Amino acid sequence: MQQVSTTRSHIFACTEKSQQECFNRMLFSTNKVYEDKIFAVKKGDILFLLNLDSNTLYGTFRAKSDGRKNIVPEAWGGGYPFQVEVEKNGEINTITNAATILSKLGISWKIVLDEDKTKLLTTYVMNPNRFAWGDLIHEIRGRKGNGKTLASEKYDVYEKPKLESTTLWDYPRQSYGKTPKGNNKYAGVTPAFIIYNLVKRYTEPNDLVVDPMAGSGTTVDVCREEGRRCIAYDIVPASPNVVSNDARKIPLDDKSVDLVFIDSPYGDNIAYNTHEKNIGWISAEADEFYQDLEKVMSECYRILKPGKVLGWLIGDQWVKKKFTPVGFNIYQGLCKNFETLDIICVVRRSQTSNTGIWYNRALRFNFYLRGFKYLFIMKKPEPKLKVQRKRIVRWSKYSRSKTMVT
């Protein structure tokens, strides 16, 4: 049997339509949905190409470069910008009925394959007719049984959350992945999934993200893992990665930031700290609360580059028999400068009011417990083009009736 050298490997998918361009250019690629796959590829990794239409697997190839964006911007008409240059790794073999083979080997094309799975798949692809299923599977099971952790259990890009596609976001946990994001003991800590979704949707690697009220540093931790630069401030930092600063004056240049995320106080419901400039001391029923947060909005507007995004998380208040639409009030302030991209409803979980006592109170005294927060996704408008094209109405397209009926 042909010997294989092993390392990590990755399976890239293509279709009947895109396959030829993969081979002509010796370039594999993904769209934004699977961009993590590309950024996980390092020069020298083993690669396979899976044609999803014909159910055929080709291999093996090697990565000639690390995976990155737009190596050949015009390839596939710009539709698959996350790319890696490849070269043949010896003779290229073709495996038909690929889905069944991958399933038998316990391999998903969506994850990074560790050394064991790479060895398994490479051995099969190089020697499909002489492959001793029993021996290899036994060997892998044996190693697992010996208590050794397979590398794939340590590293899987798809331990990352799935990106949201609707306007209703619901997270049962505060964080994801194997490293903590922020401190889930910090009162008012932000669900890391929210920041992850904004960062992935609205920024590129190395972009600058700013959180002016960052508390325990959830934004910093998410950005680090995604290869984004991050500057995080708080009036009283609760993490060494957060710098002390009042959000009403941010020490950054105009138009220098690619994304601002902010999870501000919702009123005076949480005692974050004792600092006199903590906006969390001011009641959401007071005008001063909104005036101060509008100063923060102006600063966010000033530091953002035109066309870039601000995500603002906020919840309403029901205190002492009085409802305050904090979200609507904040939204009105945001609309003074920003354009709305969308409004997300984030389900509130892990609330202190998630108890039987509060359930009974809500029914007895006829009020509702807070069940959601708003995530306002706002855009700093781009400057209007000076020369505006005249809108031409092509009346001839509309049929006109000969007689007017009155």
Ligand X SMILES: C[S@@+](CC[C@H](N)C(=O)[O-])C[C@H]1O[C@@H](n2cnc3c(N)ncnc32)[C@H](O)[C@@H]1O
Residues lying near ligand X in the complex (CB under 6 A) are found at 182, 186, 188-190, 212-216, 218, 233-236, 246-248, 263-265, 272-273, 277-280
Nearer to ligand X, 347 or 363 (CB): 347
CB of 279 to ligand X, least distance (A): 4
Nearer to ligand X, 13 or 222 (CB): 222
What are 23's two structure tokens? Answer: 């081979």
Q: Cα Rg for the chain, rounded, in angstroms?
A: 27
Q: Which residue is nearest to ligand X (CB)?
A: 215
CA–CA separation, 184 and 262 (whole Å): 17
CB of 190 to ligand X, least distance (A): 4
CB of 372 to ligand X, least distance (A): 16
Nearer to ligand X, 56 or 218 (CB): 218
Q: Can you say how many angstroms the Cα of residue 211 is from the centroid of all Cα atoms in its chain?
A: 16
CB of 221 to ligand X, least distance (A): 9
Nearer to ligand X, 267 or 280 (CB): 280
Q: Which one-letter DSSP state was computed for residue 397?
A: G
Nearer to ligand X, 127 or 273 (CB): 273
Number of neighbouring beta carbons within 10 Å of residue 295: 16
Residues pairing with 310 in the sheet: 260, 378
Q: Can you say how many angstroms the Cα of residue 111 is from the centroid of all Cα atoms in its chain?
A: 17
CB of 161 to ligand X, least distance (A): 16
CB of 207 to ligand X, least distance (A): 19
CA–CA separation, 200 and 204 (whole Å): 7
Sign, Cα dihedral of 276, 280, 283, 286: positive
Q: Can you say how many angstroms the Cα of residue 160 is from the centroid of all Cα atoms in its chain?
A: 8
CB of 245 to ligand X, least distance (A): 6
What are the DSSP calls for 360-376, one per residue?
A: HHHHHTT-----EEEEE
Nearer to ligand X, 68 or 348 (CB): 348
Q: Can you say how many angstroms the Cα of residue 159 is from the centroid of all Cα atoms in its chain?
A: 12
CB burial of 172-208 (b: ≥16 within 10 Å; e: otherwise) equals eebbbeeeebbbeebebbbbbbbbbbbbbebbeeebb
Nearer to ligand X, 71 or 214 (CB): 214
CB of 72 to ligand X, least distance (A): 39
Q: Determine the angle formed by the axes of helices 115-126 and 98-105, rounding to 10 degrees.
A: 140
Q: Are strands 46-51 and 9-14 parallel, antiparallel or unpaired?
A: parallel
Nearer to ligand X, 56 or 264 (CB): 264
